[in-house]
Copies of this chain bind each other. A is one copy, B any other.
Amino acid sequence: MNKLTSSIKEAVINSGLRDGMTVSFHHHLRNGDYVLNMVMEAISELGIRDLTVNASSLFDTHRPMKEHIKNGTVKSILTDYMSGELGRFISAGGMNSPVQFRTHGGRPCDIENGKTPIDVAFIAAPASDPMGNCTGKRGKSACGSLGYAIPDARNARHTVVITDELVPYPLIDWSIPETDVDQVVLVDSIGDPKGIVSGTTKITRDPIGLSMAMTAVDVIKASGLLKDGFSFQTGAGGASLAAAKYLKDVMLKENIRGSYGLGGITGYMVDMLNEGCFESLLDVQCFDLKAVESIRNNPKHREISGTHYASPEAKSSAVDSLDVVILGATEIDTDFNVNVHTDSNGRIMGGSGGHSDTAAGAKLAMIIAPLSRARLPIVTDHVTCISTPGSTIDVLVTQKGVAVNPKDRELHDRLVSAGIKVMDIRELKALAESISGVPEKPRFGDRIVADVIYRDGTVIDHIREVAED
């Protein structure tokens, strides 16, 4: 009369997982996640081989994946983001078949349209009832939204919920309903709370970052978009958060009531909601404890699925109505193409996540980045890897000036009229190189180690092998 299974290994056996199939994972437990490693260990011990792993993101904590690749358990990886440790392994040619990078919108899209079917989805759920109604909002490993996991659970042939807090039926604030769940496994712990969410996310104290944040808000004001109904997304980086804080001050001072904040949600966005800058928050992933508490208690702070966030084949998604997004970059080139997949040496250390989805959807897509980082210029002739096409980027904000994409003439004129220091992006490149020198181009091998699949399904770039240092 319930779906409880005694162990992960038992659940894998019951799922009918066989050689060559696809398993999926989501990343709301971030670098604190235990579930992916526990499941892959069980699968490896069962001798199942040649799997495709479709994970919404992979963090350093998932380093055992290297062994599973080496021993043949894992044959292919599909993901939207991969942090440095696994990234270096892949870049050094650790895998035979190229990693497929998608976006946070493209991934649920391809799961739903059947291009990347999932055989068994494993859901890390901070609270579940015995029938699989589950949520991330409660429990000792609470992570808030389970947005990216919702399409996996709905579309997988078989879905296993793994939880460390079993509650009586029915868990009423489910993110994923029992209708999508085959088995529930209770384990001691699904993650390390310290790694799941930061206690608090902090704005930068770096003066360059603060200066860029102020300029970013000036650009938003000058764009004409900052008025009642305004909608906004920003990242969790220090300068992006500082921009949110300055923006809040402006909105409160000018009594502007925005419509919604979107995205990965931080405490700064929660403050904006609570202080009346937004009517609501649409949350696909929580970045800190304040966001988790807010999504648990405030009905105006609502979880959205990855589909609702950004799928390009949904009948619409939240990014389609977005006014402004502030995004980061490891490189941006003079055509405004942005790289967030590799470092300047060409090694994988990131991924698009929602970068290119929000850039495509937002009326104003802004990159905020210092001219150089670790003595390497950020602005370059050609990015090492195209993550987000320049055609979807409107403006670059640096500490030395702002560059507007030539396609945005009206925006250019608005910024100039507002007294913002607007420069040609080639001037910014020259300035960066005058400070940091012209960097050597990475030396790539011939072999392709990853494909970058844009949200419309086209492969917009390949990432090639780079020898280890």
- A residues lining the B interface (CB < 8 Å): 1, 3, 131-132, 159, 168-170, 172-173, 177-182, 229, 259-260, 279-280, 282, 299-300, 302, 304-305, 307-308, 311, 314-318, 320-321
Contact = CB atoms under 8 A, between A and B. Distances in A.
Contacts of A300: 172
Contact of A316 (B3, B308, B315): B3
A260 B321 contact: no
| In the A-B complex, the 9 residue pairs with the closest CB atoms | A179-B314, A172-B280, A178-B316, A131-B316, A177-B308, A179-B308, A179-B307, A170-B260, A172-B302
Contacts of A172: 260, 279-280, 282, 299-300, 302
Given A173-B299, A299-B173, A308-B177, A182 B259 contact: no
Contact of A321 (B1, B282, B311): B1
A159 B315 contact: yes
Nearest to A300: B172
A180 B311 CA distance: 12
Number of copies of this chain in the oligomer?
2
A320 B317 CA distance: 33
A259 B318 contact: no
Contacts of A180: 314-315
Contact of A170 (B168, B181, B280, B305): B280
Counting chain B CB atoms within 10 Å of each CB, the highest count among A170, A304, A318, A320 belongs to A170
A316 B179 contact: yes
A170 B315 contact: no
20 contacts: A3-B315, A131-B320, A131-B321, A168-B229, A169-B259, A169-B260, A170-B318, A172-B280, A173-B299, A173-B302, A177-B305, A178-B317, A178-B318, A179-B305, A179-B307, A179-B308, A179-B311, A179-B314, A179-B315, A181-B316
A308 B182 CA distance: 14
Nearest to A1: B321
A130 to B, nearest CB: 9
B315 A132 contact: yes
Counting chain B CB atoms within 10 Å of each CB, the highest count among A169, A259, A299, A314 belongs to A169
Contacts of A173: 299, 302
Contacts of A282: 170, 172
Nearest to A314: B179
Contacts of A314: 178-180
